[in-house]
Amino acid sequence: MRAPITALALMASLLTACPESGEPPTGTIKAEPATVTAKTTDPPFDVTVTTTSKDATGAEITITESTKGIVTQGTVTPSTGAENLSASGNSYSYVASDTDVTKIAFTCTNPGETTFTFNVTFTNSEHTTKVGPATVKITCTGPTQTDLLTAFFQLLGVPKTVAWVAARVKNMIEHSTGTIAAVKAQPDLIAKAAVLVMMTQVIVTATFGNTTLPCGQGKDAYTVCPTDKKPFPPGETILVMHQMDQPVELNDSKYSWTYGFVFDQDGDSTNNYQPGTQYPKDFYKDTDRWYEALYAPGKGWSLKVTDASGGAITPFPSAARIVLYKEMAALVVPASELKVKDPKFRTTIFRHTGDYGMNPPHDWSGDMEPPVDKGLQTFK
């Protein structure tokens, strides 16, 4: 029996950096048409990458794999790095048969031009074939919209000093047990960012003093606070953020949700939580501090903070906040709560109907970054 084919489309960008703009979304975008196609006859397998202008303010790349009945395993990992574009669906893995179509949408955030080079490679045990390169230019002109990360930093009242890092894969969809498949492959965690910032007393008061981001529903975002929250102190503050491919569902009538931010908070890997053998893919494996925004229908949102050092799982008093803003969840926590200022971390999403997906029909879905078997993300 043949080994599965692997399709890999790599995109590298040559870009011109442009200053950020906070103007309304009145700019335009244009993608020059370009197509690259890879084909084999033994076994029959086609890959086509096409770029098109979607509308006045957006463009998209469409990647189509046609395996004609052969199951395919692969990865698509475009890399933008462009300050004048915001991309969604940047990175994903898939298992597909017949035809699989994936679209990567781009939105202008600043005027400028980005040139992408596409290479499509497919391999199996007998063949490795590369087709390309093909290039496409995506051009933004005029005033453009403020990207999600910039807008969030404006809410906090601190300068933006970090950029999104694209997620490595699309929808891990691996249950903690490692054996229960997700019913739906959503939501998808598509990017993350982490940074240490300074929040002065003036900023803290303006942000969390029942003003910009009060506990509960505010004008621009929903802020989840611990029930017995401590006052948020001024000083060094850790921000960890992740972006999804859909807005946060604040009032779901069916599903329970967990947005988790978990750390090796002391930099000591020897005292981290290790799950039982029945949960080899536990989302919190190899961590010792857990910040969770929890939601259940009819109960609303709560923030749970747990210390899991040395095998003991105990509540931890915290001043942290988790801000739910459009397609984004963000942990804002005083750096003094963690023993190191650059802790390794993992971000997670989990959705279920109250039983954690353990019982038929196993209605759950989720995502994490990085995957459990890839360790923790280095703080940047």
DSSP count for the chain of H helices, then E strands: 2, 24
Determine whether 251 is exposed, middle or buried from the number of CB atoms within 10 Å of its CB (0-12, 13-18, 19+): exposed
Contact of 89 with 107, CB cutoff 8 Å: no
- Residue pLDDT, tens place only, 131-187: 455 555 666 665 455 678 888 999 999 988 887 776 655 545 677 777 676 666 567
Q: Give the model's pLDDT for residue 135.
A: 56
| Residue 277 identity (one-letter amino acid) | T
Region of residue 142 (phi > 0: left; psi between -120 and 50: alpha; otherwise: beta): left
54: Cβ–Cβ under 8 A, 6 or more apart, which residues?
Answer: 31, 60, 105
Q: Give the model's pLDDT for residue 283.
A: 92
Q: Give the model's pLDDT for residue 254.
A: 94
Contact of 347 with 372, CB cutoff 8 Å: no
Q: Cα–Cα distance between 335 and 8 in angstroms, integer?
A: 40
Nearest to 9 by CA among 124, 136, 121: 121
Q: Cα–Cα distance between 142 and 126 in angstroms, integer?
A: 50
Q: Give the model's pLDDT for residue 188.
A: 74
Alpha carbons within 13 A on the beta-carbon side of 100: 20
Q: Give the model's pLDDT for residue 336.
A: 96
Contact of 213 with 206, CB cutoff 8 Å: no
Q: Give the model's pLDDT for residue 145.
A: 52
The two tokens of residue 196 are 């240490």
Neighbouring C-beta atoms of residue 235, cutoff 10 Å:
13
| Residue 344 identity (one-letter amino acid) | K
Cite the DSSP H helix spans in the chain: 148-156, 201-208
Cα 253 to its chain centre, rounded Å, is 24
Q: Cα–Cα distance between 59 and 16 in angstroms, integer?
A: 18
Determine whether 323 is exposed, middle or buried from the number of CB atoms within 10 Å of its CB (0-12, 13-18, 19+): buried
- Tell me the backbone φ, ψ of residue 365, rounded to 5 degrees: -160, 165
300: Cβ–Cβ under 8 A, 6 or more apart, which residues?
Answer: none
Neighbouring C-beta atoms of residue 38, cutoff 10 Å:
20
Q: Is 302 helix (H, G, I), strand (E, B) or coil?
A: strand
301: Cβ–Cβ under 8 A, 6 or more apart, which residues?
Answer: 222, 224, 250, 293, 294, 295, 324
User: What are the sequence ranges of the domains in the chain?
Assistant: 6-145, 150-374
Stretches where the chain sits below pLDDT 50 are: 1-29, 43, 55-57, 68-84, 88-98, 119, 122-124, 131, 143, 171
Nearest to 87 by CA among 245, 221, 239: 245
Max intra-chain CA distance, the chain:
67
